[in-house]
Amino acid sequence: MPPNLIAAIASIVIFIFIFDLLRRGVLKEKYAVLWLLIAGVALFFSIFPGLFDSIALFMGVSQPVNLLFFLSSVILVLVTVQFSFELSRNEARIRRLAEEIALLREQNDRNSENNDKH
């Protein structure tokens, strides 16, 4: 089986998988866009492999696979940074919510004590 056909099938499987995750509500739209874009680019270059070779040649990369690995690494670093940002933001939100819950419980306990005295 030719590598381009394998890449095209893999891209289509990724599309179906991402759409299924979206349909079931497991994956948020803002994350799905990135993965659908990556799958679309992979499908495009698997259909037109000569175009990727031309881009690699234009950029002065001797082997197109080196450009592919470089771009994959850059994408993975960007995704990692995005997830780290989201994680940090969610940790701050959780901390703030936990503090609010603690304050509300304390206020509720004081109100219960006051009601018991009356």
Q: In the predicted model, is pLDDT for residue 118 greater than 70?
A: no
Distance, in Å, from the CA atom of 6 to the CA atom of 87, rounded to the nearest integer, reads: 35
Note whether residue 94 is domain-resident: yes
Distance, in Å, from the CA atom of 98 to the CA atom of 94, rounded to the nearest integer, reads: 6
Note whether residue 103 is domain-resident: yes
Residue 39: domain span: 1-47
- 91-104 pLDDT, tens digit per residue, is 999 999 999 999 99
Q: How many domains does the chain have?
A: 2
Residues 118 and 67 in one domain: yes
Residues 77 and 114 in one domain: yes
- 32-53 pLDDT, tens digit per residue, is 998 999 999 999 999 998 999 9
Percent of the chain whose pLDDT exceeds 90 = 73
Q: Taking the complete model, does pTM exceed 0.85, yes or no?
A: no
Residues 76 and 107 in one domain: yes
Residues 43 and 75 in one domain: no
